Structure 1
Amino acid sequence: MRTLVRPAALRTRRGRLVYWSLFAVTLLLFTLAFVIPLYWMVTGGMKSSPELARNPPTYVPEEWHPDTYTDAWNRLDLARYFGNTLTLIGGAWLLGLAIQLPAAYALSRLRPRFGGLVLGLMLVTLMVPATVLLVPTYLTVTDVPLLGLNLVNNPAAVWLPAAANAFNIYVLKNFFDRIPGELLDAARIDGAGPLTVLRRIVLPLSRPIIAVVSILSVTALWRDFLWPLVVLPDPARQPITVYLQRISDSTSLNLLIAGLVLASIPLVLLFLVFQRHIIAGLTAGGIKG
């Protein structure tokens, strides 16, 4: 097996020293690149407003104000906008799984006529910048075809576009393709229909990739700013990302930073709790019998 470093070089004392030194330096640099912005954000919420505006900035707060986070939660009414965010994300996640899982299963195992064409057209949408689709999508939600509904200021305006995710369908289809066909054939011989096979065999085997798709969807929805801003003009219905930007001009800087820190905590906890599922889903290349 060919590697960047010859095995013979790693057997020498000098080779091991150089290798581990470069590895440690690289790991340290990458760690600092991720940790320093988080440090600035967290400590920025504990500084006073005059100290935050000081130039040059202070690296460590001269006076610690951890109560700023409590003030931000109460004064900015973050609980309400966290609730709005959870409503939008929860509905989009559930609707997305209800659409993406059957669609991927149909393209992978049922193989409908023109299925390859449908998949190709979905993949083409991944090549189109999101800003190009902004206006057509907005016109669609303001006048839903056949139904004639206007979904502005309605959570469905966020749920429906998020559910139609071609990337998630493609990822799920690739995973379903790796499920042994003999396993599904055995279920069909026992009398199981397509929906029974999907519910009792495919879905239990697909938990790692479903977890990955769910986490990627939740992360993208939590960070999304432009689309909720456009389709939810009513401030009372906006998610926390849009709300914090809206009040940025009328809120003290330390309170605003504290609010941003609190808004980012759920995503950090989500990754820490489900990182094993993310790795398992991304590295799942097959299923052992």
Structure 2
Amino acid sequence: MSAPAIDPVQTPSGKPGKSAKLSVSLTGRSGGQRRTTPARFDTALGWSDRPGPAWALRILLCAIALGVFAAPFLTILSGALSTHPSGSSLSFFPHDATLLNMRVAGERGIWDYFSNSLVIAGGGLLLQLVVCTLAAYALARHRFRGQALVLTLFMLTMMLPEEVIAIPLSLVLGHVPVLGLDLKGTVWGVILPLGAWGFSVMLLTEFMKDIPDEIEEAARLDGVGELRMLWQVVLPLCKPALGVAGVLGFIMIWDQYLLPLIAAKDPTDYTVTVALAVLRTDPEVGSGVVLAGAVIALVPSLVVYLLLQRSLVTGIAAGATKG
């Protein structure tokens, strides 16, 4: 085999440069075709296109993980579509498939509770994003006395379980201080307590802190005010964080159980999560109706995740690579 032929890239002076790229071609005895090495198929998990023990082990681990996460959903869907679901055995496929459970759940008012949840989740998420964005902008882009105390208070709200504040919150909703309003039995009794979430404030604050000061200074030289700065400069750079806050905030609001329960005056004020607990205690309905209600309650969270999954993954990846 002949020696490799190295063709140096010439500099303008006619001499090979130190950083010149070398073009190496390996030829056979006949000086014919160039030999190329096939590109290896790599992923973040170290996958390879060649079957082997490691390849089989990774396939097995992925199958186990898929089974662990997918099995509950398949079981719920199977039970919701089965005529007589069994609560003592797992079944991934419905027996005697029927939509009777869905119809009975609708007759029990599941769609009314579902609409209540949609109104509360939509209004609560909108209010939460507005409040948390304004709070994060003040904490990240401005300096004022007591800033550390405000951050500490937001963190404390994440440390207290709902059961601890249930009784004080019930008293406040029944008689709002100063205003003297009774918010029980209204959607505002559920939406307003969810207007600020410490997690979203902390997340947006950390993202806004990483925005270069030069961008803000250049915008201020053009006469940009605070609200315009937030809307046209800061928020477009925080889209990944807003996606994460939107997905997690919606799931948090949608899964609320204790707050809608203490804010309701009548069973018609219940959300779908509370309605599922009521259906479970109803002796006239079986487990299939409860599973049908669970499938209905699962759909909005799944839709929101599928719509915002790109922003969610981008935001998590951006937060993991900071620093």
Does the 8 A contact of 1:178 with 1:286 survive in 2? no
Partner residue of 2:96? 63
Which of the residues 302, 310, 314 maps onto 1:280? 314
Residue aligned with 2:97, SS: coil
Q: CA deviation at 1:117?
A: 1.5
Structure 2 residue 116 is matched with structure 1 residue 81: no
Output one character per residue of 1:27-63: Cα deviation in whole Å (capped at 9) or x when no partner. Answer: 11111011111111111112223x536x666664442
Structure 2 residue 165 is matched with structure 1 residue 133: yes
Aligned residue identity for 1:267 = S
Does the 8 A contact of 1:178 with 1:285 survive in 2? no
Q: Quick check: 246-255 or 149-158, which moved more?
A: 246-255
Output one character per residue of 1:136-173: Cα deviation in whole Å (capped at 9) or x when no partner. Answer: 22222222222122211121121122112111101010
Structure 2 residue 71 is matched with structure 1 residue 36: yes
Q: How many residues align?
A: 273
Aligned residue identity for 2:96 = E
Aligned residue identity for 1:232 = A
Partner residue of 1:166? 198
Partner residue of 1:24? 59
Output one character per residue of 1:63-116: Cα deviation in whole Å (capped at 9) or x when no partner. Answer: 222x22551464233332221111111111111122111110001102222112
**Unpaired segments of 5 or more residues in structure 1?**
1-9
Aligned residue identity for 1:270 = V
- Are residues 60 and 198 of structure 1, via their aligned partners in 2, closer, same or farther at CA, if it must alter by over 3 Å? closer
Q: Quick check: 273-282 or 74-83, which moved more?
A: 74-83
Which of the residues 43, 52, 60 maps onto 2:86? 52
Aligned residue identity for 2:265 = P
Partner residue of 1:5? none
Aligned residue identity for 1:142 = G
Does the 8 A contact of 2:276 with 2:290 survive in 1? yes
Structure 2 residue 152 is matched with structure 1 residue 120: yes
Output the TM-score relative to the length of structure 1: 0.86
Which of the residues 126, 136, 140 maps onto 1:104? 136
Partner residue of 2:287? 253
- Are residues 56 and 132 of structure 1, via their aligned partners in 2, closer, same or farther at CA, if it must alter by over 3 Å? closer
Does the 8 A contact of 2:75 with 2:90 survive in 1? no
Q: Quick check: 222-231 or 247-256, which moved more?
A: 247-256
CA distance in structure 2 between the partners assigned to 1:281 and 1:93 by the alignment? 18
CA distance in structure 2 between the partners assigned to 1:92 and 1:246 by the alignment? 24
Q: Which has the higher helix share?
A: 1
Partner residue of 2:24? none
- Are residues 128 and 74 of structure 1, via their aligned partners in 2, closer, same or farther at CA, if it must alter by over 3 Å? closer
Aligned residue identity for 1:271 = Y
Does the 8 A contact of 1:85 with 1:239 survive in 2? yes
**Unpaired segments of 5 or more residues in structure 2?**
1-45
Does the 8 A contact of 1:229 with 1:238 survive in 2? yes
Output the TM-score relative to the length of structure 2: 0.77
CA distance in structure 1 between the partners assigned to 2:314 and 2:90 by the alignment? 42
Does the 8 A contact of 1:68 with 1:258 survive in 2? no
Aligned residue identity for 2:69 = F
Does the 8 A contact of 1:72 with 1:256 survive in 2? no
Q: CA deviation at 1:211?
A: 1.6
Does the 8 A contact of 2:240 with 2:311 survive in 1? yes
Residue aligned with 2:52, SS: helix
Q: CA deviation at 1:286?
A: 10
Residue aligned with 2:144, SS: coil
- Are residues 69 and 269 of structure 1, via their aligned partners in 2, closer, same or farther at CA, if it must alter by over 3 Å? farther
Structure 2 residue 251 is matched with structure 1 residue 219: yes
- Note the aligned Cα RMSD (angstroms): 2.5
Aligned residue identity for 2:76 = M
Larger RCO: 1 or 2 (CA < 8 Å, sep 6+): 1
Residue aligned with 1:52, SS: coil
- Are residues 208 and 13 of structure 1, via their aligned partners in 2, closer, same or farther at CA, if it must alter by over 3 Å? closer
Pairing of 1:118-267 with structure 2 (within 5 A): 118-248=150-280, 249=282, 250-267=284-301
